Amino acid sequence: MAGGILKNLKNIMANPVVLAYNVNGVQGKAALKEESAFYDVLIDAINLVDGSGSAEEQLRKAMQLQKKRFF
């Protein structure tokens, strides 16, 4: 996917899911890491598409960006 996870997370996760979760489950939100099967596949896919940097950091940034676009 051109643009990697930052531009394409909206094609993978709907806004209500992104708003309900964060990576570690802080601030009263559910932890995406606890959905281990989905989380592991997502991290592996991020690494395959864009091997630069931490996949978890890229996921965090993508979720933050999608939340900002929503509001």
Beta pairing partners, 31: 22
pLDDT tens-digit profile of 29-67?
999 999 999 999 999 999 998 777 899 999 999 999 999
With tokens 């509001």, the residue in question is: 71
The predicted pLDDT at position 18 comes to 96
The predicted pLDDT at position 50 comes to 79
With cut-offs at 50, 70 and 90, classify the pLDDT of residue 1.
low
Q: What share of the chain is helix, strand, coil (3-state, %, to 5)?
A: 65, 5, 30
With tokens 């091997």, the residue in question is: 51
DSSP 1: -
pTM of the model: 0.88
